[in-house]
Amino acid sequence: MSKLINWKSDWFNGNFKLFADGLQKGAITFGVWTSSAESVFEDQNYQFVSEGFWQSSTKVIDRKTSEVIAVITYDSWKSKALISLTNGKQYEWKSTGIWKSQWTVSNYQDEHIMYTCSNNSGVISSDTDNKLLMIAGLFVKQVYNRQLFILIACIVPIITTSTLRHH
């Protein structure tokens, strides 16, 4: 049985709101200058704590128990991530759309989540009820969006300065 969740994001701060049957069921709220976030989805509450330069990994903490329940490791060069749960299961996050408008989270066996976006909204189609994976897929996308923004913010002044010197 496929579960459909609609989402909307605020382009300015990257926060997400999650909707099922037209009712808001959850949210992901990012820190202002970090890629760490708090999330609530139905009865689940998670904290995402990014670590390392360029956010090379993120610990996912269950807010009810304060236990680490997953670690996300990023492969920025390939726009992929590995979501490793503490129970030993692993899931791959990867972009599938040519314009980065589609991505998946999957164990390539029995759990598959497809994300699509257009502008600042989209749909999650999931054949699993694993709320952590649904939220993690949006979180990883936003981490990569922020990295791209930082990269562009660093490169544009260099190009601009270089161009102005030659005139």
Q: Residue 144: its pLDDT value, please?
A: 75
Which of the residue ranges 24-28, 58-62, 101-105 would you say has the lowest mean pLDDT? Answer: 101-105
Q: Give the three-class secondary structure for 137.
A: helix
Angle at alpha carbon of residue 152, lines to 156 and 48, rounded to 5°? 150
Cα–Cα distance, 20 to 102 (Å, whole number): 20
Return the DSSP state at 2: -
CA angle (131, 4, 57) in 5-degree steps:
35
Q: What is the number of structural domains in the chain?
A: 1
119-148 pLDDT, tens digit per residue, is 889 999 999 999 999 999 999 888 877 555
Span 8-26, average pLDDT: 89
- What's this model's pTM, rounded to 2 decimal places? 0.82
Give residue 164's pLDDT band: very low, low, confident or very high (50, 70, 90).
low
List of residues 6+ apart from 11 with CB closer than 8 A: 120
Strand, coil or helix: 86: coil
DSSP 143: H
Q: What is the pLDDT of residue 2?
A: 72
Structural domain including 153 reads: 3-165
pLDDT of residue 101: 83
The residue among 9, 2, 3 whose CA lies nearest residue 138 is 9
Q: Which one is predicted more confidently, 91 or 154? A: 91
Which whole-number Å values give the CA distances from 101 to 69, 85, 119, 121, 122, in the listed order?
Answer: 28, 26, 9, 10, 9
Sign, Cα dihedral of 54, 60, 61, 64: positive
Q: Using one digit for the tens of pLDDT, what is the confidence trace for 30-88?
A: 887 777 899 999 999 999 998 866 668 999 999 999 999 999 999 867 679 999 999 99
